[in-house]
Structure formats: structure tokens, C-alpha cells
Amino acid sequence: MRHLIETNKLTIWLSRTLTVLAAGVLSFSMLVGVTGCETTEGVGRDIEAAGEGIQEGADRADPGPPDQW
């Protein structure tokens, strides 16, 4: 009988531990997902700004078609 009680305590402890661990993993995953969306959006804005800067520089350096030289 004592063996069954010890096994039951271990099962309950293991169940609670896995529940807490799963909740932690889920919370961390959601946090990473939300942060990743903002990071991706920020990177998109940075790439767009860099592209606009390159385009403006190219527009200023472009002398036009050869027939306009």
C-alpha cells in the first residue's frame, strides 16, 4: 500500500511539473512570436528606407539617357 501512495505522489508531482513547464514554454513562445512580428516589421521599414536612399542617390548620379549628354 505504501508503494502505491509513493507512486501516486510522484505521479501528481510529475503532472504538476509538466503542466508548469508546458505553460512556461507556451508563454515564452507567444512572447517570441509577438516580439518577432515587431522585429520583422522594423526590419522591413529599415530595408525600405535604405532602398529609398539608394534610389535617391542613383537618381542624383544618373546623367540621363545617352542622347541627353
Any domain includes 11: no
pLDDT at 52: 92
Task: State which residues form the domain around 42.
Answer: 24-58
**Using CA atoms, how far apart are residues 60 and 66, in angstroms rounded to an integer?**
16
pLDDT at 19: 93
Any domain includes 7: no
* Number of folded domains that form the chain: 1
Q: What is the pTM assigned to this prediction?
A: 0.48
Any domain includes 65: no
**Using CA atoms, how far apart are residues 43 and 63, in angstroms rounded to an integer?**
32
pLDDT tens-digit profile of 20-40? Answer: 999 999 999 888 877 776 777
**Mean pLDDT, to the nearest integer, of 11-23?**
92
Any domain includes 8: no
